[in-house]
Amino acid sequence: MGQTFLDSKVKVVADYRERAIIRHLRNYDCSVKESNLKVGDFIASDRVGIERKTYQDFVNSIFDGRLFRQASELRNNFQNPVIIIEGRRYFGKVNRNSIRGAMSSVIIDFGIPLVFTDDEDDTAGMIFTIAKREQEDLKRTVSIRGRKKSKTIYDAQKFLVAGLPFVNSKMSATLLKKFKTPERVFTASEEELKKVPGIGEKKAKAIKKLLQTVYSDENE
């Protein structure tokens, strides 16, 4: 977008579409450079990229397949990626265990911390604090980087299977290599699942229980 940094201030590169957070950032002792970022929403240093999501968007991104793709892009482009989840409101029905499972996968499989904030100003304050620590305390610089990978049907398949109990992204790929399609994974018998390395009896039982239990919204 053509802007330059003010050298005396903490610097943040922000995706130009994050208008609300940019307005709040300007209330801090912070120089903001707007850009069309390919990966993440904010860059706090040469090693820290930040993805910001409202809680509503975070939940939606679980079910439309964006979350794991974005997590992968962050991990591939930044040494220390962060995902900020803003607010705690979701307008719709969703199984909380699905959300917990996705969160645990982001934290454990991708090694990306999840930071929760109350609102837009709190988000801006967190981004500023991260950037300040990186640049003033640790003397890190700021650089723009990133390459987006297009989402493929194979990414969506892995995400779908990774929603099963005890199945992370790596195990999801293992199951798909074994059974070839998500449909065959879901219809596999308990005995067939047990033969997959890393599954075993306990996990096979949990997977079949989830797939065969009749849904009831009374448990929401």
Q: Could you report the per-residue pLDDT of 119-151, keeping only the tens digit for each?
A: 999 999 999 999 999 999 999 988 776 555 555
Domain count, the chain: 2
Name the domain boundary from 84, 106, 137.
137
> CATH number for the domain including 94?
3.40.50.10130
pLDDT confidence bin for 160, thresholds 50/70/90: confident
**Cβ neighbourhood burial of 220 (10 Å; 0-12, 13-18, 19+):** exposed
3-state secondary structure (DSSP) of residue 18: coil
Place of tokens 């120089």: 31
The share of the chain scoring above pLDDT 90, in percent, equals 56
3-state secondary structure (DSSP) of residue 78: coil
What range does the domain containing 175 cover?
153-215
Residue 130 CB contacts under 8 Å (≥ 6 apart), including other chains: 44, 48, 50, 82
Whole-structure pTM over 0.95, yes or no? no
Contacts of 174-179 spanning 24+ positions with Cβ under 8 A: 174/198
Verify that 88 and 172 share a domain, yes or no: no
More confident residue, 156 or 220: 156
Res 214: pLDDT: 83
Give the tens place of pLDDT for each residue, 181-196.
Answer: 999 999 999 999 999 9
Quick check: 27 and 5 in contact, CB under 8 A?
Answer: no
